Structure 1
């Protein structure tokens, strides 16, 4: 079990390092290649585009070809995408590389989730999954800290750091291959737990979802449409150009978001198990997001640390509560459809938000010479954050109404 855990965690760590490798080189791409923020936003937006569909069929692929085979194949696909991205100084080439990476990355996540269920259902499944998320966050943290521990590569320009990301892709393949070998051996011995049904879409379930589910979807779409485009695409460039931070200082500051999530997400998951207050916890977590952008919009450099702390706390609490909450409001036969649809809509939101944020930066002339040009992006993310908070309040109110209705029926 230990070998399987470390093998899949290594595969996922490399996956997320590659995803977050664009943020630290964003300013270099702008300065050295003359790219617009719309182009930079497209590099991460294009990742989400195929996953609007791939998350719907990922479970089917795992069922047909096994979790270990899909994990290994998609890790190779991610590595090829990272290599193509590092090779191309032309925008279409890099976009093709990120598209190729995106085709493999989210399907790998589906495969590894199924793999953990196969190995750990009835064997500390929730704990092991939470620890795997910690490994994922560590990959993102390393990507943000790379300008510090790989400063010589960044001194050479935008391309060398992307080759470092490709090297992490090699580690991902090594982890996936080790998992393939271990899993093949243990499956032959019959020691694995029974795999759960894959996340297939049953469109007839759409008419039977409760109001609470759709409010959770609203939180998911608006929350992640802020977190990923800002933190993984534009935040480091924004810290450099709007606040005069060096690349090392900006990336270190940005890494604190995932550093907090690495340790706090399992803690908040345990808290949820204890108190069972999904609506209240989501409301508290979602509130941190608009407040953090309000602090950023005040343009005070002294507010950067406070804003980053709030982002980290919010990103630790909301995901820890959001995904388990779906199971509370959907029946067992609806879960595959519920999770698949919510993830597809999440990816669509991230895709659109990346493009819009880059466009408003370009329209406002955001740059080191015009820091005020970033204000429109901050307000865009702030309003999306506020929408997530409103959805959380509505969910809490809906829960109270449902509980009151149940009590009234019980009294009658």
Structure 2
């Protein structure tokens, strides 16, 4: 709760809150677009510039390495600078990173650009998350997070769709990356508009207590409650399961189920598309009814059998699907249902998990909390693909040996089971005397 003169100020109006959400979400849109812009040109880098699979792999891995290095202190920096400055600075770093990556095909330079992107993009996500907690805490917080995630993931989907609406650019590897740089510039513009909106709101509305200026003390800065660490545990295993699976999904569907590239790509796209549509709806629902730890447990439970389903269940009959900018395809019904359910889980858990932290951690430490949470997430996302690809290689997985993929799918299932355990323990703690109100809905919070 705020103290002192802040209690006399009104909370932001709906117009102020939603305008801030739009600006921050557009900055995130640019961030997501730049990160995923590499995917559609991987084959062009190999064909036109002679890049190896190892080199293109490191263009992704170096991002996570940079994120791990910066996030330990990134939250402290955000808490000290304030969100309005942090949003502008980190989005600008993303713009510079995009330009560096697009400037030359020299591997070391592109690697430096992707490293720089990791230094800017993940703290930008942390700062954006802290912004939403500041403006929406107690008022449609989960719904706001859902809208933000949907707009950000639309950036990822737009990168995939750019092969259609910007098809002439894909005659070479470089022009699509310059397009991504232009999108990043739009994100910086949105960040600057957010800076203006928060600057104008200061002293007029209650945005919480100003950040403290205590000296850097890692032991105290990252000393959080038991509930927080259970959420972090769920965050790590959830993203370390979904992100690597999606990264290799197209290849897996081609090799293990015999789909062609376009059909496999369409099938894989149902995961983010489902999340774009459903995430805000889950957020709105959770804001009304509460039971946040229960929803996280339900999402973990639904995810548990999905990886085994694509491994052991028959693909089933083919059904026709159509997507704008993509076209039509015939996809196996079992695989389609699995991807839609996984998309639903990818909507539910993040829509509940991220805003829950705002109820557990004090406002002046949200930057540090979200930074630590994202840091742990990136470690998991970095390590799990190494483990799964090693399993696939050891078991000689491929079209002639589709059973070789089973060990990786069991590994994903084990991670999902850990997520169920963490969410169950969170539910136990939140029902007890040390709970933080995660189970309360809008009416109960309004009643005090």
TM-score by length of 2: 0.74
Tell me if structure 2 keeps the 8 A contact 1:240–1:246.
yes
SS of the aligned residue for 2:304 comes to: helix
Q: 1:254 aligns with which of 268, 276, 279?
A: 268
Partner deviation per Cα, 1:127-173 (whole Å, 9 max, x = no partner): 4443222211211222233334334444x355444343333222222
The equivalences for 1:113-124 within 5 A come to: 113-116=129-132
Change in Cα spacing, 1:285 to 1:95, as seen in structure 2 (3 Å) is: same
* d(CA) in 1 for partners of 2:289, 2:299: 15
Task: Flag the 1:89–1:109 CA change in 2: closer, same or farther, 3 A.
Answer: same
The answer to whether the 8 A contact 1:43-1:94 is kept is yes
Residues 120, 243 of structure 1: CA spacing in aligned structure 2 closer, same or farther, 3 A cutoff? same
Tell me the distance in 2 between the aligned counterparts of 1:183 and 1:331.
20
Q: 1:166 to 1:230 in 2, by over 3 A?
A: farther
**Structure 1 residues 77-125: Cα deviation after superposition (integer angstroms, max 9, x where no partner):** 1122223333454544333221110101122223333444565567765
Partner deviation per Cα, 1:272-302 (whole Å, 9 max, x = no partner): 3344323432222012323221122237354
* Unmatched segments (≥5 aa) in structure 2: 1-15, 316-331, 435-448
The 1:66/1:291 distance shift into structure 2, 3 A limit, reads same
Aligned partners of 1:346 and 1:312: how far apart in 2? 19
By how many angstroms is 1:305 displaced? 0.9
State how 1:349-360 maps to structure 2 within 5 Å.
349-360=380-391
Counterpart check, 1:72 vs 2:88: yes
Q: How does 1:210-225 map to 2 (within 5 A)?
A: 210=226, 212-225=227-240
Q: CA RMSD, aligned part only?
A: 3.7
3-state DSSP class of the match of 2:206? coil
CA deviation string 1:181-239 (max 9, x = no partner): 4545x25x8445334565987524767733x44333221111111122222x3223433
Say which of 291, 301, 309 aligns to 1:295: 309
Q: Counterpart in 2 of 1:410?
A: none
Structure 1 residues 263 and 198: alpha-carbon distance in aligned structure 2, compared to 1, 3 A threshold? farther
1:51 maps to what in 2? 67
Alpha carbons of structure 1 residues 344 and 28: separation in structure 2 relative to 1, 3 Å? same
- Structure with more helix by fraction: 1
Q: Structure 1 residues 261, 35: CA separation in 2 closer, same or farther (over 3 Å shift)? A: same
Distance 1:114 1:276, change over 3 A: closer
1:18 to 10, 34, 58: 34
CA distance in 1, matches of 2:295, 2:138: 27
Distance 2:403 2:106 in 1: 29
**TM-score for both structures, normalised by structure 1:** 0.79
User: Are 2:190 and 1:175 equivalent residues in the alignment?
Assistant: yes
Instruction: Write the distance in 2 (CA, Å) between the matches of 1:341 and 1:319.
Output: 16
**Does 1:271 pair with 2:285?**
yes
State the partner residue of 1:35.
52
Quickly say closer, same or farther: Cα 1:11–1:265, change in 2 above 3 A. same
Contact residue 114 and residue 198 of structure 1 kept, 8 A: no
Preserved CA contact (<8 Å) 2:136 2:144: yes
CA distance in 2: counterparts of 1:159 and 1:362, whole angstroms:
32
* 1:131 matched residue in structure 2: 147
Query: How many residues of Structure 1 are paired with residues of Structure 2 in the alignment?
Result: 398
Aligned to 1:312: 343
1:389: which partner in 2?
A: 420
Deviation of residue 29 (structure 1)? 5.5
Shift in alpha-carbon separation, 1:70–1:332, aligned structure 2, 3 A:
closer
Q: Which segments of 5 or more consecutive residues in structure 1 lack a partner in the other structure?
A: 404-412
Contact 2:304 2:416 (C-alpha < 8 Å) held by counterparts:
yes
Report the more deviating stretch, 233-242 or 119-128: 119-128
**Alignment match, 1:193:** 206
